Every structure is written in structure tokens, then in C-alpha cells.
Amino acid sequence: MRASSGEKVFYAVNYFVLSVAGLLCFLPLIHLFATSFSDPGMIMAGRVSLWPVQWNWDSYQALFVGTRIVDAFGNSIVITLVGVLCSMTASIAVAYPLSKDYFYCRRFLSLAIIFTMIFSGGLIPNYLLVKSLGLVNSYWALWLPGLISTYNMWVVKTFFQNIPRELEDAARIDGCGELRLIMRIVLPVSLPMLVAISLFYGVAYWNNFFNVLIYINDTSKYNLAVLVQQMIFSASNPQLAIDSDLQQAITPEGVKAAGVLVMVFPVLIVYPFVQKHFVKGVMIGSLKG
């Protein structure tokens, strides 16, 4: 069906507005990129805007040599990978039974879970609970209290609920048990949704700042979010274990910009590989006739 003239104008305006909005959101990142790769003198003179001036790698050299960013990067990877695995496993385990009409106490448990979206114990009770469980200064303090996001779990539950009953009936006729049904039928059909929810969990764990600052006392266990935050809010150069020549060849702004880019870069790399699952048709080809 061919679009009318009015629809063409509407689409053109939408594309223009969205393109401008996307560019405005991307400009700060471009400026950080330019700052991190520019000569310190040009940065101090305020001549850096959207493109590096006199390319220079000293900010990254100082960042990787003089800070604990490599250790913090590894900590962030551990927190994110283990956190996503645990959260997705728990979310699926809770969402699947709640999606079935025949599950006992389904309505009561659903209302109890929704209740947690509205009311919470608060920061101090949460900290006292984590402390009483002996989880302070342990990554389990980051994983267990926020193991399940109610919103994410509800999305998974709604998706499972919309899977055609005929698929499950056909699998049961062929002799599938409940666990095999989940692994062979439900999860493969739900792959695009699971990838999207995993990305939501992953970004939340990767950017986890407040909980790390509260529950983790050992600075060697800090993740990138906390390390970069400390660098950004330091009045002078971050605590850099570098020689005096390199110290004089850098600026605080350049090192901070490099730190922010190192933190953002993994998410920018991962997203293009999972973006296709957001728009992929989930049930295409699952049923015939």
C-alpha cells in the first residue's frame, strides 16, 4: 500500500526530529572522544570541540598505567556476567510458573510481587539485612538483594503467557517433561525477549554505582563506575602512579574523558550485536496452518 503525501511528510518530519535528537545525545560522547585523544595544551586552551586536536595517547597511557582501571574493568565484568546469569535464571524460574493458569496461588503471588514495585523497606533496612547475612564487602551484596527486577520479570512472564498453547501441547504429546519443555520449546522461542532482558540486566549491573559504594569496603573490589566517578569528582589529577614526565604531559580532563570512554565502550560494542533481536519477529514460523 503506497503512502499518501501526508504520510510521507509525517515520516520525513519524524525521521528528521529523531535524527536531531539522536545526534544531540551523541554529541557529548563525541566531545569526550575528542578530549581524550587531544594534546593537553589544546585541551587547556579550550580548542577541542568535536574532533581531536594534535592526536595524543598520553591520557590513555596514564589511565592504564597509573590507575587500577584494569582491575576495576575485570571486577565489572565479573559483576555483570554473574549478575546477569543469576538474575535471568531467577526471573525465568519465577515467570514461567506465574504464566500458567493452573499454577496454585498464582494470583496471590503475582499481587505480592507487584507490591514490591510500589513499596520497599528502604535503604537502612536493606543495609541491615545485608549486614546480618554477612554479605558486606562481597559481590553477593550486589547480586542477591536485586536478584530479580519485578518489571523485567513481569515482561518475561507476559511473554511466556502469550506463547501459543498448541506448542506446549504438541511437545507434551511427544513426551516432553516440564524442564525439557522449557529448555527445548519455551526458551528458544523466547530468545529475542531474553536477549533484550539480559541487556537490561547487564547495563544495570555494569553501571552499578550506589550499591557498590555502600556495600563494598575493599577498594580493590571497586568496579569501573565507582572508579570513574572518583576520577571525575577529584579536584586535581586522579591518584596516578606515573613518572613526572608523563604527569606533566597530561591534563585531568583528558584522563577523566578517557576513563568515561573505557566505561561506555563495552556497552557500545555489545549493543549492535543484540539490537537485531529487539525487532525480530518472535513467533514467525512457530506455527503453520
For the segment 229-255, the average pLDDT, to the nearest whole number, is: 65
Grid coordinates 602512579 are at which residue?
A: 241
Task: List Cβ neighbours of 160 (8 Å cut-off, separation of 6 or more).
Answer: 95, 96, 99, 186, 190
pLDDT beyond 90 at 280: no
When pLDDT is cut at 50, 70 and 90, the band that residue 50 belongs to is confident
Question: How far is 248 from 39, CA to CA, in rounded Å?
Answer: 12
Q: Cβ distance 206 to 269 under 8 Å?
A: no
Model confidence pLDDT, tens digit, residues 144-191: 988 999 888 988 888 888 888 888 888 888 787 888 888 888 888 888
pLDDT value, residue 249: 60
Q: Cβ distance 227 to 260 under 8 Å?
A: no
Q: Cβ distance 210 to 127 under 8 Å?
A: no
What type of residue is 189?
A: V
**DSSP H helical ranges for 46-174:** 58-66, 69-98, 106-118, 123-132, 140-143, 150-161, 165-173
Question: How far is 153 from 98, CA to CA, in rounded Å?
Answer: 10
**In the chain, where are the structural domains located?**
1-56, 57-289
pLDDT value, residue 76: 93
Please choose, from the candidates 282, 56, 12, 242, the residue with its C-alpha nearest in 3D space to the C-alpha of residue 162: 282
When pLDDT is cut at 50, 70 and 90, the band that residue 286 belongs to is very low
pLDDT value, residue 287: 40
SS (H, E, C) 60-72: HHHHHHHCCHHHH
Greatest mean pLDDT among 4-13, 39-48, 152-161, 233-242 lies in 152-161
pLDDT value, residue 164: 83
pLDDT value, residue 283: 40
pLDDT beyond 50 at 285: no
Q: What average pLDDT does the chain have?
A: 82
What is the distance between the terminal CA atoms of the chain, rounded to a whole angstrom?
A: 26
Greatest mean pLDDT among 46-55, 122-131, 251-260 lies in 122-131
Question: How far is 48 from 253, CA to CA, in rounded Å?
Answer: 11
Model confidence pLDDT, tens digit, residues 98-153: 988 888 888 888 888 888 888 877 888 888 989 998 889 999 999 998 899 988 89
pLDDT beyond 90 at 91: yes
pLDDT beyond 50 at 42: yes
CATH 1.10.110.30 assigned to domain 57-289? The reply is no
pLDDT beyond 90 at 86: yes
